[in-house]
Structure 1
């Protein structure tokens, strides 16, 4: 068992991945740092490495739309702490990320010290959010209801929902997860029931409401 923590940095900007690596380098007990520049790569890394200690996840990267990326990762590896690192650091985004299972939130404008402090807090089991922002409460009753419904999904249901959002068919999901198509059908039925919708299309539209984040112009 290697001593030290195993990190995943998921961001599509190499410069920012470099900055996060630099921040991590200042921490004690770092055994390895894995990098991903798109969401497919992050999912593959998280699925293949049971021993990850923390994931630093950018909210807007190719293949993921806002908070739906967080939901998908929580489905793949329910226990690994995911810290959102984003330029979208408004109270609403931070609060929703934490309610959907993120262990922390780091603004891209944070200093190196703040980034390290946030990572250390999460590694020691705490939840970390920018201290100078009042997160308030959810004012949109529809989103509030949706978050409660998403929180009621099991990790496997969450993972299946993430795959539905990617447009995969039941048989493709069954193949990916190594289970029968009947099992996936049962999961989909349970997901629709918990989300209060009649079809997978409606489930995906609902999920996109929580994921909808303005993508900055390149």
Structure 2
């Protein structure tokens, strides 16, 4: 597994790289101190499995960097690292395509949990970031897409939503027209009793929704 770690503090990068070795002794960590270095690595190497991106980089706001990376390399899972962990920042990051958000204050165990979740192609949101979000819930508890009444195609759409994929990329990956994709996304949101894709991610986290291999 190859991970690209983007942070302007070399000491922090070295510390995280050591922690990542505990997650997987065979992990290879590439380092970048800014967005330009990160893009140079990504553009020249298709073998990166995961990006860890600092929220605050020299000369660029973290959300701008996130948008740029997701636009250039939408298929590579990306996790934000930040000393800012307010609810607005976390949910906005997820909305823009991050598959996870890890506070820099988090213990190593939480980081490992987050990375395992993301590498399994699921969204990781810090539990405290979900506190106080009032969402409607389905009439009964559900743990699978079938229980929500979703079709196999809608389950595939849900999986891509939970991977942080934007509408255009969902359409491209599934070979659907924009209108058909919009229809399926709307059906998924209705099933989860939410109105936005970000709310869908939060709702799925709260429900512990499990997508089987047949959704891939």
Range class of TM-score, shorter chain: 0.5 to 0.7
- Scaled by the length of structure 1, the TM-score of the pair is 0.59
Q: Does structure 1 retain, via aligned residues, the 8 Å contact 2:85–2:103?
A: yes
Q: Does structure 2 retain, via aligned residues, the 8 Å contact 1:8–1:52?
A: yes
* 2:111 equivalent in structure 1: 115
1:139-177 CA-to-partner distances (Å, cap 9, x unmatched) read xxxxxxxxxxxx56679xxxxxxxxxxxxxxxxxxxxxx
Query: Which runs of 5 or more residues in structure 2 are unaligned?
Result: 135-165, 171-216
* 1:15 equivalent in structure 2: 11
1:94-151 CA-to-partner distances (Å, cap 9, x unmatched) read 00000111010000100111111111111111111111222638xxxxxxxxxxxxx5
1:106 to 102, 105, 108: 102
Q: Which has the higher contact order (CA 8 A, sep 6+)?
A: 1
- The answer to whether the aligner puts 1:47 opposite 2:43 as a matched pair is yes
Within 2, Cα distance between the matches of 1:48 and 1:10? Answer: 16
* 2:29 equivalent in structure 1: 33
Between 1:13-22 and 1:51-60, the stretch displaced more is 13-22
Q: Does structure 2 retain, via aligned residues, the 8 Å contact 1:57–1:85?
A: yes
Within 1, Cα distance between the matches of 2:25 and 2:119? Answer: 11
Within 2, Cα distance between the matches of 1:75 and 1:128? Answer: 20
Q: The residue matched to 2:38 in structure 1 has which SS?
A: helix
Structure 1 residues 110-149: aligned runs within 5 Å? 110-134=106-130, 136=133
Between the two proteins, the alignment pairs up a number of residues equal to 139
* 2:78 equivalent in structure 1: 82
| CA RMSD of superposed structures (Å) | 2.1
Structure 1 residues 133-212: aligned runs within 5 Å? 133-134=129-130, 136=133, 151=166
